Amino acid sequence: MLLVLLLLPMCWAVEVKRPRGVSLTNHHFYDESKPFTCLDGSASVPFDQVNDDYCDCKDGSDEPGTAACPNGSFHCTNTGYKPLYISSRWVNDGVCDCCDGTDEYNSGIVCENTCKEKGRKERETLQQMAEVTREGFRLKKILIEDWKRAREEKQKKLTELQAGKKSLEDQVELLRTLKEEAEKPEKEAKDQHRKLWEEQLAASKAQREQELATSAFQELDDDMDGAVSVAELQTHPELDTDGDGALSEGEAQTLLGGDTQTDAASFSDRIWAAIRDKYRSEVLPTDLPSPPAPALTEPREEQPPVPSQPAEEEDEEEEETEEEEGGEEGEEEDSQVPGEQPKETPPPVVPPQTASPTEEDKMPPYDEQTQAFINAAQEARNKFEEAERSLKDVEESIRNLEQEISFDFGPNGEFAYLYSQCYELTTNDTWGSWAGPDHDKFSAMKYEQGTGCWQGPNRSTTVRLLCGKETVVTSTTEPSRCEYLMELMTPAACPEPPPEPPASGNHDEL
Amino acid sequence: MDAAEKEEISVEDEAVDKNIFKDCSKIAFYRRQKQRLSKKSTYRALLDSVTEGKESTRFQIINEAAKVPLLAEVYGIEGNIFRLKINEETPLKPRYEVPDVLTSKPSTVRLISCSGDTGGLVLANGKGDLKCHITANPFKIDLVSEEEVVMSINSLGQLYFEQLQIPPKQRATKENEEDTSDDTTQENQEELGLWEEKFRNFVDVKDNGPASIGLDFSLHGFEHVYGIPQHAESHQLKNTSDGDAYRLYNLDVYGYKIHDKMGIYGSVPYLLAHKLGRTLGIFWLNASETLVEINTSGDTEPAVKDALTQTGPVAVKQKVRSQTDVHWMSESGIIDVFLLTGPTPSDVFKQYSYLTGTQAMPPLFSLGYHQCRWNYEDEHDVKAVDAGFDEHDIPYDVMWLDIEHTEGKRYFTWDKKRFPNPKRMQELLRSKKRKLVVISDPHIKIDPDYLVYAKAKEQGFFVRNHEGGDFEGVCWPGLSSYLDFTSPKVREWYSSLFAFSVYQGSTDILHIWNDMNEPSVFRGPELTMQKNAIHHGNWEHRELHNIYGFYQQMATAEGLIQRSKGKERPFVLTRSFFAGSQRYGAVWTGDNTAKWSYLKISIPMLLTLSVTGISFCGADVGGFIGNPKAELLVRWYQAGAYQPFFRGHATKNTKRREPWLFGEEHTRLIQEAIRERYTLLPYWYSLFYSAHVASQPVMRPLWVEFPDEVETFGVEDEYMLGSALLVHPVTEPKATVVDVFLPGSSEVWYDSKTFAHWEGACTVKIPVALDTIPVFQRGGSVVPIKTTIGRSTGCMTDSPYGLWVALSTKGSAVGEFYLDDGHSFQYLHQKQFLHRKFSFASGVLINSCADKRGHYPSKCVVEQILVLGLKKQPSSVTSHSPDGKAQPVAFTYCAKTSTLNLEKFSLNIGADWKVQIQ
């Protein structure tokens, strides 16, 4: 009963007489008993000049039903569908713009009235949309709840982590102190050990020199008189100092420090040092190798084995990039003996030695006491580093959680579930911002600074969010080069549906 | 600022690499002619050999170098045209003579010959007002019109003709004894490029050897020459003495350099010369690579003058004060040149179109606005762009689809993913009376599963390579073969591919665009086909290179006509063209750039095309390459709206630029510019009819309309549309004022918006805002317009007309109006057209019939008449309809602008009526 009452006035309204192209709301401006005043007030004309196919008003309001004015509007009632304003220039242009066909009343073409059909379709669509929206909104509420819960959990976890972080920090500090304490005796013991060894080395070197001097003296002392004379020295022309290839008497004498001879003690003290580098022994075919400066190689502490380097991954990558370059590179690679170290292997930890040190050059192993100190310090170091790593992990987790919690997941966090999800997004763009219009900024997302385009900008993507029951990408297009547009259906974009409309069987206006 | 610089740079990056293309020094036949001519071996005519055939007068010419004489033929042709042909009398094998360009065999008129005073020969036309004076030694022809020598041929002795020879290898075996005087050193051989020519990595092996030709023309008293498109150069041809010659060689030059004489997409070997009292044309019918040197001298030496008077029997009446020498050189073929003697610009246009045909009458829709982009992505995109025009109330007629619409650049197919239902898409456009244009290029993807390829392959329809196999080159689809459009059979077959039953997904609103038809061959020498590729009839590509694109457009247009069973007018846009291409559709200026300088150069480029017969021409609005700023885009729309072919286009890597993407204000400005185009549609259509039937260009340089005013001869920043509208597009950024030259001392000009008027022969400073398009109506003209704008031309069929009547200083005006169904050939076969004449004199405007043969009923009325320059307020205005009824007409008069506006007028446009103003 109520329905009928509601509908009746509308039926009358449709019957209201008004000039062609005038909407119901405007009909009172068109009173045939009075001259017509343009809606913008610019002019007033006799009423019979309304819709006389000549434009009198600047705003086109005197010709709503003809194409005479360039800027007029024609109103179609479109009973059964939505009323519509079209440009009055489209009146009688041979194109059916209004579904009721009223815009083509004199163009010779017949427009079918499609309003009923369109209305039916529209209603179906609206119903479907309403259904989707309802369901989507229900899911959205779940998403919001999920996020609320997840957020709380994350918050809790965060608080825990933050608390844990404090104690971890303390622990790290403590372990640092312990480590430093353990390292002190270790250093002292090691220094002591090294010092001893260096002294020992020096002594043995001096002794060796002494031995050499003595044997040289004996060699030189041809007459075995316990002294080396100028003449005896002259048998060794290699000691020549002025470069003429012979050792003159004067030169020899100079070498002997101005004396004509020298005894064994002063030879080894004063003269040997000056001639040892040139002196060629008569016994040995080549001169005695000057002992290399002892390399200070320390005994290794827990030397990790040099890891064998398969490095296959790197190799593959290289091959790919080099493929295009072709021939030469390939050949080079082919010439490599399999099993040889690949080019990119880091230098071995042990530096190559030109002469291997003799046994005595090696520092003797630490004594038990020192090794004990070292072991203790190492243990302290390991513990400290481990604690420091855990602290870093915790800090990282805290940062991630903070970022996620503070991220703008929409007004109620409904978009949180999309975080770190991938929906066919392969352009490597990074999150930019929400990009919807001001009143609806969560209706689109902007991703920017993707990989560069050949002769174009960096790739960027705008994702338009549409209400849907599921989360799916419905379309991807490239409206401008390297600027992509995606449509993503998601319940998170569903608005709150209006309250259930009362069932209305006969309602056909939209 | 940073962004702006970046933009500039990115555009620079894409600018053409000139090293890819030859300059003159890299062209062997040019070097040969220059070298030989410096040695001067003059030709003499053997006038005792003169024979008079039915059509021509023949005689032999010879020089010392030539062992055998050449045969020269002089023809008189209807409409005051002379034709000179020079060929070998018995060449080793036939030399190429360009077929299919001349509309039919031109009717010859008998020339009357008599001996000259000094032993020369004089050939005169029937009336005796035009004569050719042929001097025997040195060989020279003077063209004499009414006792004035207007042109001399070979007066500089640049006649050059390489006679075909037996290749040196064969010669060696055949004539062992032959002396080696002709032999050249290896180095010299390379320099002369007789049998082989290198460029970059390419070697052109010439089986026929050297065959180049050349000839000079001295134009007496002429300083202004025009024509020989296509170059991105000024309208008036420049002196080439200190640089490269104008090159005519059709090439795909992406982002061509401007103010350069390099050859680009098309060639019309036709030059016009103009001086006070005389316009001439030289049509050099040759389709091989051609170079044109221009040398204008202000004052010729008296000695030359004397020589002229001595050799010619005629006294030179007019003092020869200046001269332009034009030197044509072609790589092969024969000398076949038409001398168009004018004397007016209009006469020359008629003479040229008598030879090569007039502009095809375009379907009305093609004069609307075209929306193109490489590429509209898919059906949905097309729908959205189409809706965008309606949403922003911007009229447009044609949606365009570039190469991406096809399945892997296989023309005649559709990408099934993007365009699953092409017919549905076309129905959407049809519902708004709009059209679709899709691309069809001459390269055919090599793919045995592609039907077009398979069929063409099977029937041997491709151009062949030097070795005899199908020519293969790389283009958009990858490796492709090229259809040999020079073969009538191939053209016939290609035409048949456009039949609705064959071209799946096509409907009658689909029209065609031929691109890349220079032909473009990526990785080929100069990005085109090797010159020794072989065409139908065993002709080498070098012989006919410049005409390849012409043939494709011909076959396409024919195909569209055939699919409608001969009823509908086709629309075909081509990038490459030749003399005569006007018969088949429209031409555009190729890959231009979004810069102000390219907007500016579009005007002279289009003027040059227009005077060489191609009226339906345009430049891509906005610039194809790069991203125009809003101001440039707006100015380009404003210019494009007043140029014949009006299409917005953009390359692939540019930002979207549909008219509504630059903010409300710019959208409005673009909308306004496009609407002005639609307002003037009746005028445009009438101008095209005049181009079609009377050979008059639509877009005209000022000198064409004002041939007696020297100041107009070099103007190229403004032009006339027909004889009524002068347009001066704004082509400078941030312009606030433009200097507009209004020619004609007895003229009066009216600003088309403000109705302000100026007397002619002055330059006025016109203030311009961003919405100003400086357009002026010439006093004495009537321009028909549409008073309401629909969303496409098709939606405006029944909308009323208006008339802009601009009075001359004498208070009169005339104008014409043409109307037909806008799409069919009925205007031609059934004379279904309306051709009206409007004339205003002594206060009376008369609408009368201009062509009684035509009948076309129209229910359209004239509803508004605007009379500009009416000095006195009328007391009454009365209309007299055909039945004799007199009716008072409401009017408003504005004394300030001297403008009378007749309102509420409603008389049929096709009826005889008059309006009396008292």
Give me the interface pTM, i.e. the ipTM. 0.72
Nearest to B371 by CA among B643, B626, B591, B621: B621
Band the pLDDT of A16: cuts 50, 70, 90.
low
Nearest residue of chain B to residue A95 (CA atoms): B432
Which of A462, A475, A480 to probe by mutation at the B interface, max B CB count within 10 Å?
A: A480
- Measured between alpha carbons, how far is B186 from A43 in angstroms, rounded to an integer? 90
Domain with CATH 2.70.130.10 in chain A: 416-493
pLDDT for A429: 67
Q: How many CB pairs under 8 A join A and B?
A: 63
- Kindly report the length of chain B: 918
Q: Which tens digit of pLDDT belongs to each residue from B269-309?
A: 999 999 999 999 999 999 999 999 999 987 544 444 444 44
pLDDT in tens, B695-726: 999 999 999 999 999 999 999 999 999 999 99
- Whole-number Å distance between alpha carbons of B546 and B552: 12
Q: Number of H helices and number of E strands within chain B?
A: 18, 54
Residue B327, min C-alpha distance to chain A (Å): 42
- Judged against a pLDDT cut of 50, whether residue A344 lies above it is answered with no
Taking all residues of chain A, what is their mean pLDDT, rounded to a whole number?
76
Name the helix (H) or strand (E) containing A329. helix A327-335
Ranges B189-193, B616-620, B685-689, B807-811: which has the least confidence: B189-193
Do B851 and B836 touch, CB atoms closer than 8 A?
Answer: no
Mean pLDDT of B428-457: 97
Q: Please determine, for residue B897, whether its predicted confidence score (pLDDT) is greater than 60.
A: yes
Q: pTM, whole model, 2 decimals?
A: 0.79
Q: Which of A360-369, A485-494, B68-77 has the lowest mean pLDDT?
A: A360-369
For A408-425, what is the mean pLDDT? 75
The predicted pLDDT at position B321 comes to 75
pLDDT at A308: 47
Q: Do B331 and B211 contact (CB within 8 A), yes or no?
A: yes
B515 is catalytic: yes
The DSSP string of A30-83 is: --TTSPEEPTTSS-EE-GGGTTSSS--STTSTT-TTSS-STT-EEEE--TTS--
Question: Of the given ranges (A278-287, B75-84, B832-841), which has the lowest mean pLDDT?
Answer: A278-287
In this prediction, residues B475-479 reach a mean pLDDT of 96
Q: What is the mean pLDDT of residues B446-453?
A: 97
Q: What is the mean pLDDT of residues A445-451?
A: 78
Mean pLDDT computed over every residue of chain B: 92
Distance CA B377, CA B367 (A): 25
Determine the pLDDT at residue A502. 57
Active site residue B23: no
Task: Give the distance, in angstroms, between the CA of residue B285 and the centroid of all CA atoms in the same chain.
Answer: 16
Kindly state the average pLDDT of the residues B647-660.
Answer: 94
Two tokens, residue A382: 């390991």
Point out the least confidently predicted range of A267-271, A452-456, A486-490, A497-501: A452-456
Cα nearest neighbour of B903 on chain A:
A54
The C-alpha angle A133, A137, A140, rounded to 5 degrees, equals: 140
Q: Got the DSSP string for A350-399?
A: SPP-SSPPPGGGSPPPPPHHHHHHHHHHHHHHHHHHHHHHHHHHHHHHHH
Instruction: Please give the pLDDT value at position B181.
Output: 45
- In the structure, what pLDDT confidence band is assigned to residue A363 with cuts at 50, 70 and 90? confident
Q: What pLDDT was estimated at residue B483?
A: 98
Torsion of CA A179, A181, A182, A183, to 10 degrees: 80
The whole-angstrom separation of Cα B73 and Cα B56 is 6
SS3 B369: strand
CA triple B560-B566-B572, angle to 5 deg: 25
Q: Chain A interface, mutation test: which of B795, B860, B863, B889, most A Cβ atoms within 10 Å?
A: B795
B823: chain A residues, CB-CB within 8 Å: none
Torsion of CA A435, A441, A442, A445, to 10 degrees: 0
> What dotted CATH number matches A416-493?
2.70.130.10
Q: Residue B495: which pLDDT band, with cuts at 50, 70 and 90?
A: very high
* Distance in Å, alpha carbon of A458 to nearest chain B alpha carbon: 12
What band does B186 get if pLDDT is binned at 50, 70 and 90? low
Evaluate if residue A317 carries a pLDDT over 50: no
Cβ distance A94 to B795 less than 8 Å, yes or no, reads yes
**Using DSSP, how many helices (H) and how many strands (E) does chain A show?**
9, 11
**Contact B245/B269 with Cβ under 8 angstroms?**
no
Count of residues making up chain A: 510
Contact assessment for residue B291 and residue B248, using Cβ atoms and an 8 Å cutoff:
yes
Residue of A167, A125, A107 whose CA lies nearest to A387: A167
Under 8 Å CB-to-CB from A391, ≥6 apart: which residues? A165, A168, A169, A172
Look at A89 and B863 and tell me if their CB atoms are within 8 Å.
Answer: no
* Smallest CA–CA distance from A111 into chain B, residue: B431
Spell out which residues of chain B touch residue A58, defining contact as CB-CB under 8 Å: none
Q: What is the pLDDT of residue B187?
A: 64
CB B132 within 8 A of CB B56: no
Could B393 and A87 be called an inter-chain contact, meaning their C-beta atoms sit closer than 8 Å?
yes
- Considering only alpha carbons, which residue of chain B is nearest residue A108? B798
Burial B756-767 (b: 16+ CB within 10 A, else e): ebbebbeebebe
Dihedrals phi, psi of A143, to nearest 5 degrees: -60, -40
- Could you read off the pLDDT of B347-390 as tens digits, one per residue? 999 999 999 999 999 999 999 999 999 989 999 999 999 999 99
- Give the pLDDT confidence score for residue A405 in this predicted structure: 83
- Which band of pLDDT confidence, cut at 50, 70 and 90, is reported for residue A501? low
pLDDT for A288 beyond 50: no
Percentage of chain B exceeding pLDDT 90: 86
* Res. A357: pLDDT tops 70: no
- What is the spatial distance between Cα A42 and Cα A58, in angstroms, rounded to a whole number? 7
Banded pLDDT at A346 (limits 50, 70, 90) = very low
**Range with lowest mean pLDDT among A38-42, B122-126, B310-314, B809-813:** B310-314
Measuring CA to CA, which residue among A385, A384, A356, A466 is closest to residue A136? A466
- Residue B458 phi/psi, 5° resolution? -60, -40
The Cα-based distances of B280 to B143, B212, B217, B222 in angstroms read 11, 26, 12, 10
Q: Which residues of B touch A480 (CB under 8 A)?
A: 654-656
Question: What phi-psi label fits residue A399: left (phi over 0), alpha (psi between -120 and 50 degrees) or beta?
Answer: alpha
Between B663-679 and B681-694, two packed helices, what is the crossing angle to 10 degrees? 50
Q: Which domains does chain B have, with CATH numbers?
A: 24-162+210-228+268-298+320-356 (2.60.40.1760), 368-440+491-516+546-697 (3.20.20.80), 706-712+722-917 (2.60.40.1180)
pLDDT band at B147 (very low <50, low <70, confident <90, very high): confident
Reading phi first (left if > 0) and then psi (alpha if -120 to 50, else beta), residue B812 is in beta
- pLDDT band for A478, please (50, 70, 90 cuts): confident
Is B591 annotated in the active site?
Answer: yes
A291: Cβ contacts below 8 Å, ≥ 6 apart = A205, A208
Predicted pLDDT at A293: 47
Chain-chain contact of A93 with B381 (C-beta, under 8 angstroms): no
| Cα B172 from Cα B159, distance rounded (Å) | 30
> Nearest by CB to B790, which of A89, A96, A456?
A89
**Mean pLDDT computed over B425-434:** 96
Q: What percent of chain A stands above pLDDT 90?
A: 14
Residues 6+ apart with CB under 8 A from B571: B362, B363, B365, B366, B435, B437, B511, B512, B560, B585, B586
**Which of the four pLDDT bands, split at 50, 70 and 90, describes residue A6?**
very low
pLDDT at residue number B856: 96
Compute the distance between CA of residue B91 and CA of residue B93 in angstroms, rounded to an integer.
Answer: 5
> Is there a contact between A93 and B790 if contact means CB atoms under 8 Å apart?
yes
Residue A85: closest C-alpha in chain B: B391
The two tokens of residue B522 are 């990526």
Q: What is the pLDDT of residue B316?
A: 44
Interface test with B, best of A481, A483, A486 (most B CBs within 10 A): A481
DSSP classification of residue B477: T
Positive/negative CA dihedral, B47, B51, B52, B54 = negative
The encoded tokens of residue A356 equal 């291997």
The pLDDT, as a whole number, for residue B299 is 57
One-letter amino acid at B805 equals V
Q: What is the pLDDT of residue A255?
A: 77
Between CA A183 and CA B111 the distance in angstroms is: 121
Q: Is A507 a residue whose pLDDT tops 80?
A: no
pLDDT at A7 over 60: no
Tell me whether residues A70 and B380 touch, CB distance under 8 A: no
- Average pLDDT (A456-467) is 80
Q: Which of B197, B415, B591, B620 is catalytic?
A: B591
Average pLDDT over residues A376-404: 90
Catalytic residue, candidates B386, B518, B718, B863: B518
Q: Per the structure block, which two tokens stand in for B491?
A: 């053209």
Q: Which of B181, B196, B159 is nearest to B28 (CA)?
A: B196
Which secondary-structure segment (H or E) carries B223?
none
Q: Decide if pLDDT at B175 tops 60.
A: no
CA-CA distance, B264 to B260, in Å (whole number)? 10
Residue B337 clears pLDDT 70, i.e. is over it: yes
Select the residue of B432, B652, B789 nearest A481 (Cβ to Cβ): B652
